[in-house]
Amino acid sequence: MTSTFLPDKRSGPEAGRPPAPTPPGASPGRRRRRVSHWLTAVSFQLPALVLFLVLVLLPILFALYAAFFRWGGFGMPSDYIGTENFTRLLDDPVFLGDLWRCLVLVVLSLVLQLPFALAMAVLLNQRMRGRAVYRMLFFAPYVLSEAITGVLFGMIFAPDDGLADQVLGGVGLDGLGGEWFADPSMVMATLFLVMTWKYFGFHMMLYLAGLQSIPRELREAALIDGANAWQRFRGVTLPLLAPTLRISVFLSVIGAIQLFDLVWVVTQGGPDHHSETMAVTMFQFGFKRYQVGYASAISVAMFGISLVFALAYQRFVLRRDLQGATTTMRGGGG
């Protein structure tokens, strides 16, 4: 907030400099001017603030409030039950399973999906024929909506009649076919396969952008110094790509915590809860069973997990990338 907003004759040499904290005993004129600047800033922010308040902050606070009630969603919550919804949450095998499945997805993403995306990015960063076509093809699934992806793969992995089983049968690998989404022990693997198909292109694009910002000279210098391909990758590319990697990991984890659409369309969390995520459980209780209080508790838990993760990640992992951002309290930034 600088004072350049308004042509203010009195600002003189101070124009363009951020207002310093008012020293004790400042002149009343300066203080009045500061107040008017402050008011100007607030009036510019007001529309956005009001929208944020009404559409983001109030619903969050209301969910937090409703989580302490047994509430069916009709009228206002009135049956206060303290923390019962939260203790029930920790006893609910489905919710505990959700947490476990979330962890599985995060680990699988970090160990398989992102390295795969990185490998593709490095590959497509080389000079090769049809490079743009490949990039576009690999990115295309990300543009599809979750619902379309879900319906599509629901058909592909239909037992016996689906494309997957037909192709496997056609090349004599019937044994590898299976019940895919219908088999409790296979559903998470199948789901992860679909998620990888859909999202690796997005991460690949992030990495490509990161790779292109690495100066060629550095790699050339390493080459002249006699570094082999792996050493150049390990010693030059990877460290310089680290900020992009950190952001991509962040997006991937948050995405896993909030996963809903794809699961809902393909399996609705089934069979027998084996692919259910926190968001699916919340939907079941909120919109199918009308136990809105309990559903609020689930959403508060989801919010809490995301928030703690986001803050911790920013504080400890992204610190160097985001110097001066909200969590460090160092102000100014530099």
Q: Output phi, psi for 145, to 5 deg.
A: -75, 155
Task: State yes or no: residue 235 binds another protein (CB under 8 A).
Answer: no
Q: What's the number of CA atoms in the CB half-sphere (13 Å) around residue 96?
A: 6
As given in the structure block, the two tokens for residue 35 are 């107040």
According to DSSP, residue 56 is labeled: I
Specify the residue, 184 or 239, whose C-beta has the smaller distance to another protein.
184
Examine residue 17 and tell whether it contacts another protein (CB under 8 A).
no
* Tokens representing residue 190 in the block: 């199948």
The answer to whether 332 and 324 are in contact (CB under 8 A) is: yes
Binding segment (CB under 8 A) for another protein, from list 45-53, 114-122, 229-237, 269-277:
269-277
Q: Which residues contact 271 (CB under 8 A, 6 or more apart)?
A: 181, 182, 183, 184, 187
Q: Does 161 bind another protein (CB under 8 A)?
A: yes
Q: Is 189 in the site for another protein (CB under 8 A)?
A: no
Out of 288, 323, 325, 330, the residue judged to bind another protein by CB under 8 A: 288
Q: How many residues bind another protein (CB under 8 A)?
A: 30
Q: Which residues contact 330 (CB under 8 A, 6 or more apart)?
A: 323, 324
Regarding 85 and contact with another protein (CB under 8 A), the answer is no
CB of 172 to another protein, least distance (A): 19
Contact 189, 124 (CB under 8 A): no
Cα first-last separation, the chain:
16
74 touching another protein, by CB under 8 A: yes
Q: With contact defined as beta carbons under 8 Å apart, do 198 and 149 qualify?
A: yes
Please select the residue that binds another protein; options are 5, 44, 80, 287, rule is CB under 8 A: 287
- Answer yes or no whether residue 255 interacts with another protein by CB under 8 A: no
Q: What is d(CA 239, CA 244) in angstroms, rounded to the nearest whole number?
A: 10
Report, in Å, the least distance between residue 57 CB and another protein.
21
**Would you say 68 or 180 has its CB closer to another protein?**
180
- For residue 290, state whether it binds another protein (rule: CB under 8 A): yes
* 168 interacts with another protein by CB under 8 A: no
Nearer Cβ to another protein (122/158): 158
CB of 284 to another protein, least distance (A): 7
Q: Is 315 in the site for another protein (CB under 8 A)?
A: no
Task: Return the number of other C-beta atoms located less than 10 Å from residue 176's C-beta.
Answer: 11
Given the rule CB under 8 A, which residues bind another protein?
A: 72-75, 154-155, 158-162, 179-184, 187, 267-268, 270-273, 284, 287-291
